[in-house]
Structure 1
Amino acid sequence: MADTKWLEIAINTTPDRLDEVTAKLTAAGMAGLVIEDEAEFQQFLEQNRQYWDYVDQELLDRMKGVTRVKFYVTDDADGRAQLAQYTHGLDCEYTVTSLNDNDWAYSWQKYYKPLSIGERLYVVPQWEKENPVPDGRVPFYLNPGLTFGTGSHASTQLCLEGVEAHTKAGDSVLDLGCGSGILSIAALVLGASHALAVDIDPKAVDVAYENAALNGIGKDRYTVRAGDVLTDAALAAEIAQQRYPLVLANIVADVIIPLSAQVPNLLTDDGIFLCSGIIDTRAHEVEAALAQNGLKVTRKREKNGWVALEAVLA
């Protein structure tokens, strides 16, 4: 069957007309609207700035001055009739771009290729699962999706190198801020017996379980929880019931710094804390917080302006 063809309609408007435009489109029957608005984007960044240290300048530039509404219809007689219905009386300029369903859904896949990390790991996108794995490498299959980490970011690669170096067969692992589960699942494919992963975003739970399943790992070995260990005392207490030989946190400096106070109660006596997602200009702040909370940095990895730290109980 041929791929469905779609039309992307983009309406450029102004902040003061945004509500009017969306109301007219909704009244005409279009429910699936995509709104791109610089003011909302900046508000989102401000409300969530504790979760990152910087935002890509290219993204900031792309959103500058933008107030745009997008929607999609099929590229056929029915779709064009819908387009005429939705835009009737709109009094706004709009552009129409033709898209293939295949292009729309899968064009981003070309950016994700298998990735060799450290000496043993081989991160493989799900759609390349049938391809051979290089000798001596352990395959780690991922569905990158569109929202979570894929292993391509320098900070994740630095932490994966540490995971490979310190995962011992039969050990248990704790992954704080797990996202797609990439670090904890990597530890499991490298021989860890069990992993507990936690993320503040509830959507991460399903994504991490799906990535684990791609690697033949079930809930008997992998537990994923949603919650914030910094503010949820019950969750923090539950996690602290066990100590771990390896604790992972690929987050940002502003989260790692307060989190470091909890880490000594989570590590076994000879355990290792791996933290990453630290922009290099803030590494000294994280090192100071680790030292203040009874942890000694034993190794510092750096790549493309990012830093990962290994620490043990002092």
Structure 2
Amino acid sequence: MKWNKYTLKTTTEAIDYISGLMIELGIDGIQIEDNVPLSEEDKKAMFIDYLPTLPKDDGTAYISFYTEEDNDDEALLHKVREKLKEASSFINVGEGTIEKDITEDIDWVNNWKQFFKAFTVGEFYIKPTWEEIDEAHKDMKMIEIDPGTAFGTGKHETTQLCINQLIKYVKPGDIVLDLGCGSGILSIVAKKLEAGKMAMTDIDPAAITASKENFQVNHIAMDDIDLYDGNIIDDEELQKKVGFNKYDVVVANILADVIIPISAIVDKFLKKGGIFISSGIIYMKEEDVVDAIKKNHKLKFMETVNQGDWRAIMAQKILD
């Protein structure tokens, strides 16, 4: 089978943000090329003995994605270009040109797995389903995850930020809402922290399937978990199904441009005193998210925590 390969010329500065945009647009997998030297941590994670010699890094990067050869991709490419135009107002996206090529079939489903290795966050040991348990971590809370090609492994800074905040705020028996659940890893973390009833939403039906599969792998029953496919921001019927004034914790690891409109409505779902954990926020969007939270007079901004270029921002529903 042949595939369309679209390659976007951009900058290393914009890689993380544009990658997030592509995921938001439903692009299942991307390939990133740049000349940024690998760190020692990267070297260890990829089991590379010798770092490759790269040309001088001039800040240029390429992000490629693939579609089936007979796809009509004009609508998707238009959305990508529109998102790039919006992003160019606050980040250097470089040339922003997109070139098309045709490539032969590759085992995308399995090739990426060589880069997903076990890691720890706080009290959690997170490993891919196909990797053996490391005896050194056998006494930690273990999560097995098989994200497939469409959802994150949990190793990204934004997910780690959320996990650490869930550890901080979730108490046994808490009712938790996971907005944009993806692979379900944050909900699994909440359950491992002894959360009670839960609800999970995502705009992608495949996320619901992936979440169910990952709960099953981790031997967690879903009897007290509701899963919803839909857009919580615009769908008032979905909002009613999710339920109002009932959640102790709401977590959303998406993107700043989605967190901002969520901030205007998240108080509907929270109990008084409930905590809103938001992540997926690139550093240059931090102020915008904080402003959005402060505009909702039923929320009180609490704190921002950092990891690399990413931010998690916490707020609390006002008690009065």
1:33–1:295: structure 2 CA closer, same or farther, 3 Å change rule?
A: closer
2:196 maps to 1:210: no
Aligned residue number for residue 151 of structure 1 = 154
Q: CA deviation at 1:281?
A: 0.9
Give the TM-score taking structure 1 as reference length: 0.71
2:99 to 53, 65, 68: 65
Shift of 1:149: 1.5
- In structure 2, what is the equivalent of residue 163 of structure 1? 166
Report SS of the residue matched to 1:213: helix
**1:181 and 2:201 equivalent?**
no
Aligned pairs (5 A) from 1:212-227 = 212-227=215-230
Aligned residues: CA RMSD: 3.3
Q: Cα gap change, 1:286/1:191 in structure 2, threshold over 3 Å: closer, same or farther?
A: same
Aligned to 2:77: 42
5 Å matches for 1:108-257? 108-118=112-122, 120-132=123-135, 134=137, 136-241=139-244, 243-257=246-260
What is the CA–CA distance in structure 2 between the aligned matches of 1:204 and 1:281, rounded to whole Å?
28
Change (3 A) 1:277 1:33: closer
> In structure 2, how many angstroms separate the alpha carbons of the residues matched to 1:220 and 1:177?
20
Unaligned 5+ residue runs, structure 1? 1-7, 13-31, 73-98
Distance 1:106 1:55 in 2: 33
* Gap runs ≥5 in structure 2: 6-66
**Within 2, Cα distance between the matches of 1:56 and 1:41?**
22
Matched residue SS, 1:162: helix
Q: Say which one has the larger Rg.
A: 1
SS in 2 for 1:161: helix
Alignment partner, residue 42 of structure 2: none
Q: Could you tell me which amino acid in structure 2 is paired with residue 299 of structure 1?
A: E
Aligned ranges 1:5-84 → 2 under 5 Å: 33-34=68-69, 42-46=77-81, 64-66=98-100, 68-72=101-105
Query: What CA deviation, in whole Å up to 9, does each residue of 1:155-180 have, x standing for no partner?
Result: 11111110111121111210111111
Aligned-pair distance for 1:249?
0.7
The amino acid across from 2:121 in the alignment is I
The whole-number CA distance in structure 2 between the counterparts of 1:10 and 1:271 is 47
Q: Is the 8 A contact 1:168 1:192 kept in 2?
A: yes
Instruction: Give TM-score scaled by structure 2 length.
Output: 0.70
Distance 1:137 1:226 in 2: 32
Give the deviation of 1:198 after TM superposition.
0.3
Contact 1:35 1:70 in 2 (8 A): no
Alignment partners' CA distance in 2, 1:56 and 1:183: 31
Which has the larger helix fraction?
Answer: 1
- Whether the aligned pair in 2 keeps the contact of 1:138 and 1:190 (CA below 8 Å) is no
Give how far 1:33 is off. Answer: 4.7
Cα distance, 1:56 vs. partner? Answer: 11
Query: May I ask how many residue pairs the two structures share in their alignment?
Result: 255
Indicate the percent of aligned positions where both proteins have the same amino acid: 33
What corresponds to 1:288 in structure 2?
291
How many angstroms apart in 1 are the aligned matches of 2:74 and 2:91?
15
Task: Map Cα deviations across residues 239-296 of structure 1 (whole Å, 9 max, x no partner).
Answer: 2345111100111122111111222221122211100011111111111111111212
1:304 to 303, 308, 316: 308
Is the Cα–Cα contact under 8 Å of residues 256 and 286 in structure 1 kept in the other structure? yes
Q: Aligned partners of 2:3 and 2:202: how far apart in 1?
A: 35
Q: Kindly tell me: are residues 39 and 164 of structure 1, through their superposed partners in 2, closer, same or farther at Cα, counting changes over 3 Å?
A: same
Give the Å deviation of 1:105. Answer: 4.5
Indicate how the Cα distance of structure 1 residues 220 and 133 shifts in structure 2: closer, same or farther if over 3 A, else same. Answer: farther
